[in-house]
Structure 1
Amino acid sequence: MIAKKKILVVEDNTLNRMLLCQILANDYDVVEAENGKQALEILEQEGERISLILLDIVMPVMDGYTFLSIVKASPSYSLIPVIVTTQSDSELDEVAALSHGAADFVAKPYRPQIILHRVASIIHLRETAAMINLIQYDSLTGLYSKAFFYQRVKETLLQRPDQEFDIICSDIVNFKLINDIFGVPAGDRILCGIADLYLTHSGSRAICCRFNADQFACLLERRWEYTDEMFQQACAEISALPHAKNVVMKWGIYHVENRNIPVEQMCDRAILAARTIKGQYGKYFAKYDDNLRNKLLWEQTVTNNMDAALQEKQFEIYLQPKFRIKDNRLAGAEALVRWKHPEWGMQSPAQFIPLFERNGFITKLDQYVWDRACEVLQDWDRKGYPPIAVSVNVSRADIYNADLEDILQRTIKKYELPPARLHLEITESAYTETPKQIVDVVGHLRELGFIIEMDDFGAGYSSLNMLNEMPVDILKLDMKFIQSETAKPANQGILRFIISLARWMSLSVVAEGVETQEQLERLRAIGCDFAQGYYIGKPMPVKDFEVLLQQSPPPLDCGEESLHRAQERQNQILLLVDEDAGYRNEVRKALGDRFQIVEAADGRTALASIAVYDRRIAAAVLSMTLPEESGFEVLEALQREKAFCRIPTVATGPAGMQLEGKAFAAGADDFAAKPHLQTSLLKRIQHVIYASAFEEEMPDAAPDGCGLLGGQNS
């Protein structure tokens, strides 16, 4: 059942009020008030649920004109139409009522059909106007809606053919993060602030709209040359808004030259220009020009040709060799893709891979490369060549494919290969976007037997947490990272530490982009395992790589070496010293898959275990509440005996500054207050192990003793 519209009747005369209610009752829900003050109280309760007000002018307490003035001055009630009723039918009274904001005027005595027709007409008119307003304006910011903006721009361009115009579109970078962190209301306030900025700076003749969720568009008369300073100032004003300190906006400008193209396309071109400078620090705006147009046309041509190219096998794999640094033995290859087009010639992957990543075609191309690489490996096996592994790329888009595991398994079964012959390169940047998903997917692939390589490590996203959580076998150091680090003096930079850390984690390390003898020698000196780059081997066709395979000494497989190291890592020991058997059981359940747990319930057993296992001990978790303070005796022994000094130690005990300070003073590297989460304990263990590895490579980092913190509580 459709609810009746609600009408407020404001009339001090009881008989007249009853008559109006009787006229309206069949079609409307009627609310009554005896005077203007009572009517305002009803409005506070009902608000915009009131569709219309019938108002008498002459009333006690608050007359109709006063009530009408208050209502029309209120943003909450001003849109509610008012029909004035009065005994007088003079023109002056009607004008007075209309001038105060009334929508209509009716004289007494009431004529039912006239009242009903006028009420229905005005309510319909109000609803129609509200609908038009809703279509024309964005409900949040008050700017024009996108559809109405298109219409207004089209009309303006037709009406003023001699005036030059620009369309400026803006895009907020990572606006979703603002909503996620501060909440949608905070994001809405920022959008409203940006809308006010457009209205303030664009001038009265500009046409502005909220283009999409976080995008704005504006048609401006061309009056100035645009500079980064102009848009930088606009960014500063936006940053002054609440919760908008780190908001980054990019602007794109389209000079309206061809008025025959649709306005929608003009705006799209401005948005495209803005997107070309995303990620460029200090660059605030870009213009759509012939260069950008040609680039887009080229991308469209590539897009139109890519499916046919795949079917016609225009894509070829090239293989770039990897060598073990210490003896220059061939250790595998990376499969790279080239596009040999019948008309354009050989295309570099830099020309098409970024586009394929954006349009999703990269998943089809990756699967083609996987298939082709496995086909080559099978062919080599048939020819009797020594078995080596080939690395292939797994893009971020592949990670989202629910069939990824099945596709890879079908591919290796098709060519009768073990999974370890196909190394899967996962770029480290993929971890920052979908950490949990990529850890789960990569973990399953590794369980199936595939060798996992983390590609481009050091390209800008690296973190120790990522390195620890990602289930990888081989660490590939980014080319620019290698070039930057090897250019520094030997005692500076973090390359030595990264390789030492990888060695502790039982990861093989491949240095990409080795281009000089000096770089190779530096990598050799600090113990890097493998190298890849133009200096030692360029990407080459499969036939050329076969020649290299036949001429080289018997190659080795860096994946097998990584698996051997991983087995060694599983044998690394965590010494768990605690008098509480229940606590030891909890730690063993939580960390038993990462370490071999050796338990001790007292200090004497702990020292005996250290003497037996020595260098296999990765870290110790040591209770400070062991009987007779034997936990402190163990710490003192670790400090006194240089052979044991290197064992990083996490002390445990009840929370309290005195015990914690005493543990640090005795040489503990960290302190975990009980009770605690096992994940928290794991993080502390990892931290002290990483720090210990860093100290081994840079002994000057902790000159005041063996402990990480030099015996100080920090």
Structure 2
Amino acid sequence: MKKNKILIVDDIEVNRMILAELFKDDYDVIEAENGLVAFDIISKDYEDIALLIVDIVMPVMNGFELLDILSKNVLYSNIVKIVISGADDEENKRKAIKYGASDLIVKPFEPYEIRNRIKNLMTNLETEKLREENNKLREYFKIRSKFENFIDKIPAGVALCEIGKDIKDGLRVIYANDYLYNEFGFFKDNNDTYVKQNNTSIVKGDLDNIIKCSIFDKESSETVVDKFRIINQDGTYSWTMVSGKKIEQTDNSAIYFAVFMDITKNIVYENELIHRLEYDELTDIYNKELFYKKTQEMLINNLNINYVVVCLDVEKFKLINDLYGLEEGDKILKTIAKCIKLNMNSEKSVFGRLYADHFALCFEKFDGYLDKLVYLTKNCFANYPIDLNVIVKLGFYEVENHTITVNKMCDRANLAIDSIKGNYKKIYAFYQENLRNELIEEQEIVNEMYKALKNEQFNVYYQPKCNLITGEVIGAEALVRWNHPKKGILTPNKFIKIFEKSGFITNMDEFVWESVCRQLRKWLDSGYKIVPISVNISRIDIYNKNLCNTVASVLRKYSIPADLLHIEITETAYTENPKQLIEIIRKLKKIGIIIEMDDFGDGYSSLNMLSEVPVDILKLDLKFLNPTNKKDSNKNIIKSIIYMANELNLEVIAEGIEHSDQIKYLLNLGCNIGQGYFFSKPVEPYEFEKLL
């Protein structure tokens, strides 16, 4: 007895071998390594293939793409389709059902369990098919004997139609009930004659397709099912489904019994469902899957055109959600999507929302595209109803190889964004190959940082603050070093930004605070002359509601007077969230903490900031006094800042002193405290004890 065939489609050979072994007794097994190979097999052998088992994730053509093609051709409708997926989620189930799959099986699976499951499914389908055929046969005899009286009683459009052997012979309606005549705008007059009363009509192209589908075939007794559009009097479209069964045939024509049903509501619902599956629900632009698909199609179909892939990311979007609520965050995402839709040429570009606050665009490269995108993102929130400082970062990848997956292109554009995160001076970056190496190094740090903290690889060093006149040590700044077992001593510039990006900076800051307080306690107990030690708090710490309680708790734990612990903040923390920063500083000052503003002069310095933020000390960045920088204007900036600080009764500490000339200049301006390599590099605690 001839066996039915089963086609197993999976790019992993061992998976195909396992499934082939399970079904070899019941089926002739055919294997394919991807959807494209499988489609070639099906198109040649579809009549004998009873069952298709297809994996979703495959190269060249994935499982859903194969099912999509098969679902559009009635020739393949009798093949039972089973989908295999590595993820048990509703989205995959919806897609599987949409493309005509009978079941979805999640990996990993028990081999014999899947065999029994599919065997039961096939048995049930065969039973259902037999029952359906018997029902149709019974209906056929009823219609044959009583169709004239029966047709007029059916609450749907019903007709007997003759279809010629050739398409040029067309379709002829032999008999139709009142319901069908009314549907097409015909109504009986007083003479019992049908008269056309409105301008509804079938779209001719749709009718031709139905005739093509129903061309007379002596060997065929299949039910013909199709749909067509009706143009209504107001110009709108309605959809009608026709289901026809051949009941008579001659050498030149066939008589079909046809039922017509209005399926407009079904079509509208189906289109809405497809829209939900393909478009992002919040922003109404392409979702990730459709963006990838449409972009890949555009690139492959236009190999001679230069394209650019751009990813967009809202800086610190999570904080915006935390501070202003998810509803406000959603409004921001909708604003970005609207801005993109209004400004991008839809014929030459594809755009979509990948996830969260991440968007992506792909467009044909044109002169000035960088300036346009930068202008677009900067002005996107110009008319936003709330005064929010929303910063959108851009990552650019200029497409060189059209065959690279869009997913990888977006990864590269996002790498460019990652390289400028936290840098308020830059809002865009281009992908460079070295970014990949940097990403690998960054990931190594992320993988090791928690273990390094647990294994005490981090050490606190102390850099003295000195009186510029006497050279006496009057304080110090605590700076962390990573004693890496393979890479040696790593300075903060190698890892701090990565810690900030990952959120680990909070763990590191708390480690430093505790280490400093423990060291101060040791020095106090040993009778050393004690000087205040300053520690840093990152911009991330500013958003921690328990920050003040944490600092106070550490001081109490080691019985350290609050004035011995100075806390350094940066200007950028103020520019990002001034209200939150001011509130935190006031709480810290209430418990006696001295506040220093670090790197003053390196950011957006302003008199207004100093008048609002209750700091005690300014730490002045001396890059303006670099020997290679001869501009008098830079010296005037230093002079103005020191004068301004004196007027506000703020102490000034000059950091970055490397030359004696800088000391003389600072003393002449009234700055008496400094820090830098001229006095000492950061040293370990036992070396700092000698300085004390």
TM > 0.5: yes
Q: Cα gap change, 1:534/1:163 in structure 2, threshold over 3 Å: closer, same or farther?
A: same
> Could you say what secondary structure the match of 1:449 adopts?
coil
Alignment of 1:83-482 (within 5 A): 101-104=237-240, 118-119=261-262, 121-138=263-280, 143-151=285-293, 168-171=309-312, 189-194=338-343, 196-197=344-345, 199-202=346-349, 208-212=351-355, 215-218=358-361, 229-232=368-371, 243=382, 250-253=394-397, 264=407, 266-277=409-420, 286-287=430-431, 289=433, 291-481=434-624
- 2:82 corresponds to which residue? none
Q: Cα gap change, 1:280/1:462 in structure 2, threshold over 3 Å: closer, same or farther?
A: closer
| Among candidates 669, 678, 685, match of residue 526 of structure 1 | 669
- 1:84 corresponds to which residue? none
Deviations 1:365-416 (A, max 9, x none): 1111111112222222222211211111111122222222222122222222
> Which of 431-440 and 495-504 deviates more?
495-504
User: Which protein is richer in helix relative to its size?
Assistant: 1
Say if 2:397 and 2:409, in contact at 8 Å, map to a contact too.
Answer: no
CA distance, structure 2, for counterparts of residue 241 and residue 440 of structure 1: 30
Say if 1:502 and 1:509, in contact at 8 Å, map to a contact too.
Answer: yes
Q: Cα gap change, 1:63/1:517 in structure 2, threshold over 3 Å: closer, same or farther?
A: farther
Q: Cα gap change, 1:368/1:126 in structure 2, threshold over 3 Å: closer, same or farther?
A: same
Q: Cα gap change, 1:513/1:250 in structure 2, threshold over 3 Å: closer, same or farther?
A: same
Q: Could you tell me which amino acid in structure 2 is paired with residue 253 of structure 1?
A: Y
Say if 1:426 and 1:452, in contact at 8 Å, map to a contact too.
Answer: yes
> Could you say what secondary structure the match of 2:311 adopts?
strand
The alignment status of 1:512 with 2:655, answered yes or no, reads yes
1:488 positional shift: 4.5
Q: Could you tell me which amino acid in structure 2 is paired with residue 383 of structure 1?
A: S
Q: Could you tell me which amino acid in structure 2 is paired with residue 193 of structure 1?
A: L
1:325 positional shift: 2.0
Deviations 1:228-279 (A, max 9, x none): 854335656888999599997734217587989x854542332222443566
Alignment of 1:556-635 (within 5 A): none
TM-score normalised by structure 2 residue count: 0.56
- 1:712 corresponds to which residue? none
Say if 2:563 and 2:592, in contact at 8 Å, map to a contact too.
Answer: yes
TM-score normalised by structure 1 residue count: 0.54
CA distance, structure 1, for counterparts of residue 201 and residue 381 of structure 2: 38
| Root-mean-square deviation over aligned CA pairs | 4.7
> Which of 132-141 and 163-172 deviates more?
163-172
- 1:56 corresponds to which residue? 185
> Which of 341-350 and 406-415 deviates more?
406-415
Deviations 1:150-202 (A, max 9, x none): 45567899x9999999771232666989x99x9988655422123x33x3444
> Could you say what secondary structure the match of 2:394 adopts?
strand
Say if 1:478 and 1:511, in contact at 8 Å, map to a contact too.
Answer: yes
Say if 2:658 and 2:677, in contact at 8 Å, map to a contact too.
Answer: yes
> Which of 304-313 and 238-247 deviates more?
238-247
Number of residues of Structure 1 aligned to a counterpart in Structure 2? 453
CA distance, structure 2, for counterparts of residue 259 and residue 491 of structure 1: 51
1:341 positional shift: 0.7
> Could you say what secondary structure the match of 1:64 adopts?
coil
CA distance, structure 1, for counterparts of residue 229 and residue 354 of structure 2: 42
Q: Cα gap change, 1:66/1:510 in structure 2, threshold over 3 Å: closer, same or farther?
A: same
Say if 1:141 and 1:191, in contact at 8 Å, map to a contact too.
Answer: no
> Could you say what secondary structure the match of 1:366 adopts?
helix
Q: Cα gap change, 1:272/1:218 in structure 2, threshold over 3 Å: closer, same or farther?
A: same
Q: Could you tell me which amino acid in structure 2 is paired with residue 384 of structure 1?
A: G
- 1:571 corresponds to which residue? none
The alignment status of 1:65 with 2:199, answered yes or no, reads yes
Q: Cα gap change, 1:491/1:525 in structure 2, threshold over 3 Å: closer, same or farther?
A: farther
- 1:605 corresponds to which residue? none
CA distance, structure 1, for counterparts of residue 380 and residue 585 of structure 2: 42
Q: Cα gap change, 1:487/1:265 in structure 2, threshold over 3 Å: closer, same or farther?
A: same
Say if 1:191 and 1:214, in contact at 8 Å, map to a contact too.
Answer: no
Deviations 1:197-223 (A, max 9, x none): 3x3444xxxx54343576543567xx9
Say if 2:617 and 2:652, in contact at 8 Å, map to a contact too.
Answer: yes
Q: Could you tell me which amino acid in structure 1 is paired with residue 277 of structure 2?
A: I
Q: Could you tell me which amino acid in structure 2 is paired with residue 147 of structure 1?
A: E
Q: Could you tell me which amino acid in structure 2 is paired with residue 64 of structure 1?
A: N
Alignment of 1:13-28 (within 5 A): none
Say if 1:482 and 1:513, in contact at 8 Å, map to a contact too.
Answer: no
> Could you say what secondary structure the match of 2:430 adopts?
strand
> Could you say what secondary structure the match of 2:264 adopts?
helix
CA distance, structure 2, for counterparts of residue 470 and residue 240 of structure 1: 29
1:451 positional shift: 1.1
Say if 2:464 and 2:474, in contact at 8 Å, map to a contact too.
Answer: yes
Q: Cα gap change, 1:161/1:312 in structure 2, threshold over 3 Å: closer, same or farther?
A: farther
CA distance, structure 2, for counterparts of residue 303 and residue 167 of structure 1: 30
CA distance, structure 2, for counterparts of residue 317 and residue 95 of structure 1: 76
Say if 1:217 and 1:267, in contact at 8 Å, map to a contact too.
Answer: yes
CA distance, structure 2, for counterparts of residue 63 and residue 239 of structure 1: 58
Q: Could you tell me which amino acid in structure 2 is paired with residue 192 of structure 1?
A: K
Q: Cα gap change, 1:124/1:288 in structure 2, threshold over 3 Å: closer, same or farther?
A: farther
> Could you say what secondary structure the match of 1:396 adopts?
coil
Structure 2: runs of 5 or more not aligned: 1-154, 157-181, 190-195, 204-227, 243-256, 321-327, 385-389
1:351 positional shift: 0.6
CA distance, structure 1, for counterparts of residue 267 and residue 603 of structure 2: 60
Structure 1: runs of 5 or more not aligned: 1-22, 25-52, 70-93, 107-113, 550-714
1:125 positional shift: 2.8
1:301 positional shift: 0.8
Say if 1:277 and 1:286, in contact at 8 Å, map to a contact too.
Answer: no
Q: Could you tell me which amino acid in structure 1 is paired with residue 470 of structure 2?
A: D
Q: Cα gap change, 1:478/1:68 in structure 2, threshold over 3 Å: closer, same or farther?
A: farther
Deviations 1:592-645 (A, max 9, x none): xxxxxxxxxxxxxxxxxxxxxxxxxxxxxxxxxxxxxxxxxxxxxxxxxxxxxx
Deviations 1:290-334 (A, max 9, x none): x11111111111111101111111111111111122332211110
1:522 positional shift: 0.9
CA distance, structure 2, for counterparts of residue 386 and residue 251 of structure 1: 52
Q: Could you tell me which amino acid in structure 1 is paired with residue 287 of structure 2?
A: S
CA distance, structure 1, for counterparts of residue 612 and residue 519 of structure 2: 33
Q: Cα gap change, 1:348/1:235 in structure 2, threshold over 3 Å: closer, same or farther?
A: closer
Say if 1:485 and 1:493, in contact at 8 Å, map to a contact too.
Answer: no
